[in-house]
Structure 1
Amino acid sequence: MGHAVGDVLGLAAAVAVSPLPIVAMILILATPRGHLNGLLFALGWVLGLALLGAIMLVIGGAGAASTHKHPATWVGALKLALGVLLVLFGARLWRRRPKDPSKAQLPKWMAAIDRFSPVKILGLGLALSAANAKNAPLTVAAGASISSAGIPVPQQIGTLAIFVVIASLGVLAPLAVYLLMGDRAKSVLGNWRDWAAQHNVAVMAVLFFVIGLKLLGDGVSVIAT
């Protein structure tokens, strides 16, 4: 199980460093129902990662992702495809990044986040984890790595749980600060929000590129072996 955890730690860390969901969480905490909405957003986030990862474990089990404790060729091909996708996304984002970070703009839907119903907040958490252009491929890659590690199903589930916990640290950090510090958290969270909003595109571009190259290397290694 240890080697499986090691394989997904980098992917989990890359998911955790997600500026846009972190900004969304901070804005949600500033709504009138900040406590409830923050918990619902966190729940949606965790459920999205867990469900997508679980689906990959099922697919991996049905598709014999591990043969003689070695990843199957299709796992390598999947990682190769995901790596190419992330590298291309990274290059595209880097070209489109604002030259002046202070002029970076957040998505328009964030301006209406204080009017979101609890159901929409829960759905937003699901969408930003399981349907995000960065987080979904990374979670799929993590699920493929776990299912191809040649470990028993209970250990696969345990490894996925570790992945989800680490991948959720970025979103859970503002919630923890809010719950522990109360009104004093406003300035801290405000600084986090401003930094994440200004550097969102650049951070995403670098993460796309670096993790994409890692997946490319992993895919080539599996196919070539």
Structure 2
Amino acid sequence: MVLDLLLIGLAVTLFPLPVMAFVLVLASPRGVRKGLVFILAWVACLVLVITLVLVLTGGTPPAPRSPPSVAALWASLLFGVGLVGYGVYRWRRVRRGAAAPKASEEAPATAHEGASLWSAAALAVLLQPWGMVGAAAATVVQADLSEAGSFVALAAFCLVATSSLLAMELSMVFAPERSANVLMGLHGWLRRHKEPAVIGVCLALGLWLISRGLYQLA
């Protein structure tokens, strides 16, 4: 469970779409404050999903090969298939030369100038990579709250999944002028390389989930 959660958390924090939007949030008026709200809403989504799973399981993992355990494995496998399918879809769009950003992807980011604190929170919810978070939820089913290691693993997942946002937020707090230039450079780089990054993250995590799911179901 620990390795799976860390890999999923790494994929979440490296996913370029929320990172690009967060850079623009930080660059807007009162950007640091809006960035903090964005991060709080982001973490709240992760904590809510984890809490819902733990409530359903009672904090005790289902017995191996039991229907709930098998259902969680199938859910993780299906999330993996979905991520691979999404990665292949984006790759085919690039091959067809149709990789121009969709309005639904760019509009939230480009509308940052007039964003309020509530808008920043809503943006965090909308841009959460929910397929990856769903895969994490299927993994959290294995958490055993009677063991301290499970708490550490869950906290580590939330921290890793938020680490890129935290790093950018702290950089703007302690070195705003220097960080602003660096972050806008990062945004420009991501705009140019967004498609390969999205495809790579989705395919890598999706194939891992599929291989792990097939192995455990065999």
- What's the TM-score bracket when you normalise by the shorter of the two chains? 0.7 to 0.9
Q: Tell me, in whole angstroms, the C-alpha distance in 1 between the residues paired with 2:94 and 2:50.
A: 30
Q: Is the aligned partner of 1:168 residue 2:167?
A: no
Report 1:170-189 matches (<5 A). 170-189=164-183
Report 1:103-182 matches (<5 A). 107-129=106-128, 135-150=129-144, 152=146, 155-182=149-176
Choose from 179, 197, 202 the match for 2:196.
202
SS at match of 2:29: coil
Aligned residues: 215
Choose from 38, 41, 46 the match for 1:44.
41
List alignment gaps of at least 5 residues for structure 1.
130-134
List alignment gaps of at least 5 residues for structure 2.
none
Q: Is the aligned partner of 1:190 residue 2:184?
A: yes
Superposed CA deviations along residues 104-147 of structure 1, whole A, max 9, x for unmatched, are 67612322111111111112112222xxxxx2222222232232
Q: Tell me, in whole angstroms, the C-alpha distance in 2 between the residues paired with 1:53 and 1:150.
A: 12
Q: 1:140 to 1:59 in 2, by over 3 A?
A: farther
Contact 1:61 1:147 in 2 (8 A): no
* TM-score computed with the length of structure 1 as normaliser: 0.84
Deviates more, 1:117-126 or 1:10-19: 117-126
* TM-score computed with the length of structure 2 as normaliser: 0.86
Q: Is the aligned partner of 1:59 residue 2:61?
A: no
Contact 1:50 1:161 in 2 (8 A): no
Q: Tell me, in whole angstroms, the C-alpha distance in 2 between the residues paired with 1:182 and 1:29.
A: 10
| Offset at residue 61 of structure 1 (A) | 3.9
- Cα-Cα RMSD: 2.7
Q: 1:26 to 1:199 in 2, by over 3 A?
A: same
